Structure formats: C-alpha cells, structure tokens
Amino acid sequence: MDLSSDHHEYCTGGFNPEDIVISGISGRFPECDNVGELKEALYSKKDLVVFSPKRFEKGMLNVPYDSCGLLKNLDKFDAGFFRVSTLLANNTDPGGRIHLEVIYEALADAGIDASELSGQNIGIFNATSNDDALHISVEDDGSANSNLYRFVQVGRASFAFNFTGPAYSTDSACSSSAVAFWSAVNNIKSGCIEAAVISGCQLNLHPGMTSGYIKYGVATPTGNSRPFDASSDGMIRSEAIAAVFLQKAKSARRAYATVSTVRFYSAGHITEGATVPPLEIEKKLIRDSLKEVKVDSNEIEYMETHGTGTPIGDPIEVNALSEVFFENRSKPLLIGTIKSNLGHTEACSGLCGMIKALLTFENENIPPNIKYHTPNPNCPALLDGRIVVVTEPTPFKGNYIPVTSIGIGGTLVVTMLKKNPIAYNEYGAEKNLPRLVLFPATTEEAVSFLFDYIRNSPKLSNEFFALLNKLSFTDPSLKPFRGYAIFSEAENAFTLIKVNPFHLLWET
C-alpha cells in the first residue's frame, strides 16, 4: 500500500491533503468489548464501573472495595492469528495480548488490512503507566518474567505487524496516551514517519496502586467518584485498552476528525506542589491552543475535560475554563468527562476522551455525564450556570472539541479535534441499490459473524461498505476463508452466497 497516494472519496472534500486525521479507532472498555458497545453504553447512561473481586477482593492492602471497571475476557487470545506460540502467549502480559488485537482492529476500522502496511515506516506510540503483571510475577515466582516488561509489549507489536517506525512506551501517568498522541502527531508532521498507531493500556491487576492512591487522597475511599459533584471524594480506577490510527488526509480512507493541534506543557515549579494541577499553566495551554488554530473561544460549544472527581483537581480545571472562556462570552460552556461513565482509565484516559469526542462529532450529539447532581461548591461557574455539565444526550453542531488530559506528575495536554467537513448522511450513492458484500477472514466463523452483524444492523453507512470493500483485497494465503453475500437495505434482504476456503471457491 502506498500511503502517499491511496485515499478514499470521503477524505477528499474539505480537507487539506496534509491534514492529520484520525482514520481508525478501536478499544476494550469496562463492560464493553468495542467502540460500538461503548457508544451504546454512553448514550444510554450506563454505569460501567461495576465492582467485582475478579482482580482483587475488598480488604486486600486495605482497599475498602473490590476491583472495579474491569475489561472482560483477559484470557481470550487468538495466538495463531498473530503467529504467537502458545507458550509465549501464556507468558505475556494480558494487556500486551489485547494490545495486538486493538491495533489490528484500529487499522481495519480505517479500511486497511494490516498486511498492506507490512515493512512500512509506521510508528507505534504506546502509553502504559503501571506494571501490575510484572509485580504479580515477582510476588509469585520471586523473579521477573522478561515478557512482562513494557518495552516488550511495544516491540512485540512492531514485530507482529512488521512496522519499521519508532516504537516506544510513554508514562506521564494520567496524561500518558495524550502525550503519546502528541509524539505521534509531531513525528508525522516532521516527516519522520508516514502514519502512526497510538495506544493506551491500563489493567489494574494488583491492589497496590489503588491502595497508594487512596492513602494519598487521590482515589476515592468509598467508591463514590462523581466528577464535578459536591459529594465526590476522589477518582475511581478502571481499565481500558484502546488504539487510534493517525495518517495524512491525502492517504486516508476515512476520517473521524482532523487533529487541528495538540499542545503539551509541564507545570514547572509551583508552590502548591508537583502533583497539583497548575491553574495558570492550564489557562495558558488552552489559550495558546485556541490561538494556534485561530478559533475564538466563543466557537467552542463543548469541551471534553479531564474531570476525575478529585476535590482538588475538578475545581482547578473548572475555574481555569471559566477564566479562559468567559472574557466575552454570553452562552454557557458545556463540559463533560467520560470518567463519569467508565471511571479513570489513567494511561488510556486521554484516548478514551478523544473517542468520546469522535462519537460526539459522528452522532452530532454529546453523550451525557452520569452521577452528577449537586455542583461542587468550589466551582463558582457551575453554581451560576456559566459552565454546564451535560447530563442528557445533547445536540451538538460545533466544529471543534478540545480534549484535556492532565498527568498527576504535572503534565498537561490539550488536543483540538476538528469535525469531519463531510456530513455523515451525505455519503455515497443510492442506499436502496443491492450490494455485493465481500469479506475475507482466517475462519468461517469470522466471516459468518461479520455477515450476522450486517444483517442485524440496518442503518450501516455507505462508508462502512466502502471500507469493507477495501478489506476484501487481501492475500488469500493470509485470510483463506471468503464470504460473498447480496445485501439490500430497501428490501431488508440478505442472501448469503458462499463461505469457503479460498482454494475451494474455484472448485464449486
């Protein structure tokens, strides 16, 4: 695949060819195995912070509640698909296994089969901020399993996909994936790489960090995390593993949004301490981001905030926003945080916030916060209504969404995302025409699963089918099972023609 020339019609109108766009997204989230399930959960106001003793039980290291906000199916992995031996798979951090899956899925979401990019100058910028699997290995065996180090996780991904660009892991605590995103954007801008995968991995397998954060006054001691609410007493730790694919518009087959800018500052020396969010630096970061993209603060309708639910952090963030956005503003600023729905995914939280912003663009509707009832009394702008926490699905017509991410070590990132200039309901040709749907996979079950999904999803866009068509051009030695079907939305008809190993298609 030539990334300099391969593009899709949906990325030609309204884009500068050199724009950097998010073209693929994927993830695992608490109680959600993919972005589609996350979308449904967000708009239905589902609380994804479910407590369970699967990772650790209440009372371990004095943590007063069970582990919570957990990913499902950590033990499931198709080792053969990624050409990983059973022995190696069993000795790999479960986050590393899922990391391979979400990268593959993000590429597929961009309409790209991973084999097309083999050998190309693609970077992998990972964010991971704990070593729970390694910690458990040392406790159990008295020595460290070398397969559990962070650098192995990233290196194995480069090896699996045969990407030759830079690959490394970033740790700036809660802002890790936003910092990784910043690194990727700047590497693409400078011409060092053609495209990039940004990933965030957060699994809370051991109670140690939860116990420490509770003692430090950062994590909730009661499990009652309610961002921006008067009753919140800290953040609640949860899990997520996500990936996004970045490339220039001239080579993208789809675009969720354009990255207008991403800026990364550090707090420096402040009298409040190294772990307190710096009000003045946060204000400067937001103002500089708006100035760089030549956007007036009045053009910002909604902001996806860091919003963790801590008694110190929430007021500082809200008060910074009130000073930046209300110098000459008459309408309220809407804010939200995905952490109200799924908890604080720490190293992955920046990507989670971006994915929520992309869903807002795509659906022209802001997913609601949950657990917000009484404004934090230390946030005057919430009390007087200048800033409003979104608590119901809310129509959105804006063109920009800033996403903030703040690390407990003093790092701050603002990512300014710009809406896709093409309306989603304007895509493609006449939807009533029957479609020939082609799909290759490594197993017959995978082909059937995809066709079942199409059959049960009557409102799929023309873009979906166009990207799916791109995925059909795959080396049959890599995906030997091929499915063919006729689909007609107008008649609600779906006719499966054949699912067979590739070499048998010529014999039937």
Hey, which residues are catalytic here?
A: 174, 306, 344
Q: Of 77, 68, 166, whose CA–CA distance to 126 is shortest?
A: 166
> From CA 167, how far away is CA 198, in angstroms rounded?
10
What are φ and ψ of residue 267, in 5° steps?
-70, -30
Is residue 244 within 8 A of residue 197, CB to CB? The reply is: yes
Q: Of 72, 73, 172, 69, whose CA–CA distance to 125 is shortest?
A: 172
What are φ and ψ of residue 253, in 5° steps?
-95, -15
- Measured in whole angstroms, the distance separating CA 298 from the mean position of its chain's CA atoms is 27
Is residue 450 within 8 A of residue 439, CB to CB? The reply is: yes
Helix (H, G, I), strand (E, B) or coil at 38: helix
Helix (H, G, I), strand (E, B) or coil at 25: strand
Is residue 159 within 8 A of residue 232, CB to CB? The reply is: no
Number of Cβ within a 10 Å radius of residue 434: 13
Hey, what amino acid is at 52?
S
Q: Of 338, 331, 387, 335, whose CA–CA distance to 359 is shortest?
A: 338
Q: How distant, in Å, are the alpha carbons of 108, 169, 268 from that of 474?
A: 12, 30, 50
- Measured in whole angstroms, the distance separating CA 92 from the mean position of its chain's CA atoms is 23
> From CA 134, how far away is CA 137, in angstroms rounded?
5
